[in-house]
Amino acid sequence: MNTTAASPMSTATSSSGRSAGKSVSFAAELQSMMFSLGDARRPLHETAVLVEDVVHTQLINLLQQAAEVSQLRGARVISAEDLLFLMRKDKKKLRRLLKYMFFRDYKSKIVKGIDDDDLLEDKSGGSNNSNKRQKIAQDFFNSIDQTGELLAMFEDDEIDDVKQERMERAERQTRIMDSAQYAEFCESRQLSFSKKASKFRDWLDCSSMEIKPNVIAMEILAYLAYETVAQLVDLALLVRQDMVTKAGDPFSHAISATFIQYHNSAESTAACGVEAHSNAIQPCHIREAIRRYGHKIGPLSPFTSAYRRNGMAFLAC
């Protein structure tokens, strides 16, 4: 990883996709999102810019891979199936995505029942919209599932550890807030990429691609973008926690070499030096998190995950 580059993830595709003077930027929204995910009250702008870059790069790469899969099956648009296919290896993340899709179905069903007009519109629409996403997922898994593992996920009711941790963190965070702060927090939590669908579409800039994603695929991409941000914040918080040497911690002297390098480099010291004062996540935390995530460890690491061949480890899948 190039430590001196502004972003460890920058690739040619990413920078060409975002031409100089790019107008669409999610930095402000990202700051809000990071606050809702566990960052300080006012996340740093640099961190937000970095996160935006990371997310954008990852999404573009994901889209390209999805386009390849789409071409393989001869489809004209990138649809949910392609993205599900890319995620098939990681059960936990796939489960989370499925749960999200089902919740979307469920929520529209309920809200429809409440609102008079919605009910009529839906009936007039004619098609049976309820559980649409669930059906798509189920049909797809039926077709590709060889071992029955994927289909088993529909009945599976395990607790999602990561989600649990996030919930607990949010609970801790909100416990000490007063009602005004809590109102702000709630508003931040409601921010998502799917709320700003058109801006998201522009930001992604699929115009150069031959095969474009359809509506549900865009929903999933928005979700994956949010998941990436959430993962980044989770990992960065972990890194920050690690950085603080606790008295009596037997492993404090066993941190990795590259980590020490980060610590010593002029750039990071200045940034991390203020870490003790402001609680915000610093860009160095993010970079370290990504480095660790992409780091191939274990004896079989060269042979894992097909989509690592281009060196990119997707955070969301």
Residue 176 binding another protein, by CB under 8 A: no
Positive or negative: CA dihedral 310, 265, 228, 235: positive
Whichever of 169 and 308 has its CB closer to another protein, that residue is 169
| Sole binder of another protein in the list 2, 23, 74, 114 (CB under 8 A) | 114
Is 277 a binding residue for another protein by CB under 8 A? The answer is: no
Tell whether residue 104 is a contact of another protein (CB under 8 A).
yes
- Of residues 1, 72, 119, 270, which one binds another protein by CB under 8 A? 119
Indicate the SS3 state at residue 299.
coil
How would you class 111 by CB atoms within 10 Å of its CB: exposed for 0-12, middle for 13-18, buried for 19 or more? exposed
Nearest to 283 by CA among 2, 6, 1: 6
Under the binding rule (CB under 8 A), the answer on residue 161 touching another protein is no
| Cβ proximity to another protein, 119 vs 144, nearer residue | 119
Instruction: Tell me, by CB under 8 A, how many residues bind another protein.
Output: 39
d(CA 285, CA 242): 10
Question: Between residues 182 and 307, which has the closer beta carbon with respect to another protein?
Answer: 182
- DSSP reduced 3-state for 18: coil
- 39's tokens: 């960052």
Contact region with another protein (CB under 8 A), list: 84-92, 168-176, 241-249, 254-262: 168-176
Binding to another protein by CB under 8 A, coded x per residue (else -) over 223-262, reads ---x------------------------------------
Identity of the residue, 121 or 249, whose beta carbon is nearer to another protein in the bound complex = 121
Residue 275 to residue 288: CA distance in whole angstroms? 14
Give Rg (Cα) of the chain.
21
CB burial readout 68-94, b (16+ within 10 A) else e:
ebbeeeeeeebbbbbbbbbbeeeeebb
When binding is defined by CB under 8 A, the residue of 158, 161, 178, 210 that contacts another protein is 178
Residue 113 engages another protein in binding (rule: CB under 8 A): yes
CA distance 233 to 240: 10
- Residue span binding another protein (CB under 8 A) among the ranges 51-59, 80-88, 115-123, 136-144: 115-123
DSSP 80-111: HHHHHHHTTT-HHHHHHHHHHHHHHHHHHHHH
N- to C-terminal Cα separation, the chain: 20
- Give the chain's count of helices (H) and strands (E): 15, 2
Length of the chain: 317
Closest CA to 156 of 81, 98, 109, 107: 98
Closest distance of CB 110 from another protein, Å = 6
304 scored as a contact of another protein (CB under 8 A): no
Is 302 one of the binding residues for another protein (CB under 8 A)? no
> What is the three-class DSSP state of 284?
helix
116 versus 210: smaller Cβ distance to another protein: 116
The stretch among 8-16, 170-178, 207-215, 296-304 that binds another protein (CB under 8 A) is: 170-178
Q: Candidates 182-190, 240-248, 271-279, 303-311 — which segment interacts with another protein by CB under 8 A?
A: 182-190
170 binds another protein (CB under 8 A): yes
125 binds another protein (CB under 8 A): yes
Binding site for another protein (CB under 8 A): 36, 100, 103-104, 106-107, 110-111, 113-116, 119-120, 123-126, 159, 167-168, 170-171, 173-175, 177-179, 182-183, 186, 189-192, 194-195, 226
